[in-house]
Amino acid sequence: MVTKLAENENQGAPPHRSGFVAIVGRPNVGKSTLLNQFLGEKIAIVTPKPQTTRNRITGIRTTPNSQVVFLDTPGIHRTRSLMNRRMVEIALKTLKEVEGILWLLDAREGIRAEDEDIARILEESKVKALILLNKMDLISKGKLLPLMERCAALLPGREIIPISALKGENVALVLELAEKFLPEGPRYYPEGDLTDQTERFVASEIIREKIFLLTREEIPYGTAVTIDEFVEREEKNLIVIKATIHVDRESHKPILIGKKGAMLKEIGIRAREELESLLGCKLFLELFVKVQKGWTQDPNTLTELGL
């Protein structure tokens, strides 16, 4: 009798689901913003510039009945440079490893050539997908409907949802639908984990974000950040980080350093403040600038950087 009751109870509870869902789309449509909104924390760096995200960033969302591992990917775009090609490859490889896809478009910009490429890839891959028209806060309702119709023609049979990743509009609905993509399965990560990135990687990303926010034109695209030292001084509740900013060209070095070191100082202050609040301790951050000519085209350096 007792066993039977337990069985009945089990049948009443929804099954636990788990798996991977990728967020794909053109550069700058709001993929990283959406990931951060899903988790209620800043996991992925966000800037107004395209091609900020270079690697695949994971964000883990755990609820009593599910664990979704979201993968934020570099934007899919047409490109010739080796670094950008590798970034696109990371995004395309991801499609093959996931249970579902969230395809993000910028509702204000509409459908671009790259979006048509993505639609074709998704059609061929047959993976379950939602079409999300992001930045709905920026356009009128009247413009949304024709865009939804064009998306339906481009990739038929998928649900199309207007959202605002920034304001959180319709984000709960997307979470609910994304969960339904997943098969029954166990929790892969402990409940409190929001990401599988190391603190070192997060530190390098935050420094890179400040460079993207503070420098202009081609400068941010030619920089990479490596962490040379990451030492925890527990007795002082202090972390010491030494990092190198690699630049692609000799002429970029003085720009990154700035007048009397002002630029490097500003990058350092902003990165330190954010890292201190993230890591919950005091930080000593030292930044160096090193010229590494042509690193964005060098296969070995790219591999070292995980690209």
Window 161-200: contact mask with ligand GDP (x via CB under 6 A):
---xxx----------------------------------
Taking the C-alpha atoms of residue 94 and residue 89, their distance in angstroms, rounded to an integer, is 8
DSSP 47: -
Residue 165 binds what, of Mg ion, ligand GDP, none (CB under 5 to 8 Å, by partner type)?
ligand GDP
Residue 48 binds what, of Mg ion, ligand GDP, none (CB under 5 to 8 Å, by partner type)?
ligand GDP
- Least separation in angstroms between residue 239's CB and ligand GDP is 26
Q: Give the DSSP per-residue string, 72-110.
A: E-PPP----SHHHHHHHHHHHHHHTT-SEEEEEEETTT-
Residue closest to ligand GDP (Cβ): 30
DSSP 126: -
Residue 52 interacts with ligand GDP (CB under 6 A): yes or no = yes
Residue 48 interacts with ligand GDP (CB under 6 A): yes or no = yes
Other CB atoms closer than 10 Å to residue 277's CB: what's the count? 10
Window 107-146: contact mask with ligand GDP (x via CB under 6 A):
---------------------------xx-xx--------
Q: Which of 195, 190, 261, 256 is nearest to 220 (CA)?
A: 256
- Cβ atoms of 247 and 290 within 8 Å: the answer is yes
Taking the C-alpha atoms of residue 91 and residue 73, their distance in angstroms, rounded to an integer, is 5
Taking the C-alpha atoms of residue 12 and residue 229, their distance in angstroms, rounded to an integer, is 52
What are the φ/ψ torsions at residue 37 (nearest 5 degrees)?
-65, -40
Taking the C-alpha atoms of residue 159 and residue 178, their distance in angstroms, rounded to an integer, is 11
Residue whose entry in the numeric block shows the structure tokens 């919950």: 280
Beta-bridge partners for 105: 133
Residue 75 interacts with ligand GDP (CB under 6 A): yes or no = yes
Q: By rule CB under 6 A, what count of residues binds ligand GDP?
A: 22
Which of 21, 22, 46, 267: binder of ligand GDP (CB under 6 A)? Answer: 46
Which one of the spans 42-50, 77-85, 275-283, 298-306 is the region binding ligand GDP (CB under 6 A)? 42-50
Which of residues 44 and 239 has its CB atom nearest to Mg ion in the complex? 44
Which of residues 18 and 73 has its CB atom nearest to ligand GDP in the complex? 73
Residue ranges in contact with ligand GDP by CB under 6 A: 25, 27-33, 46-48, 50, 52-53, 75, 134-135, 137-138, 164-166
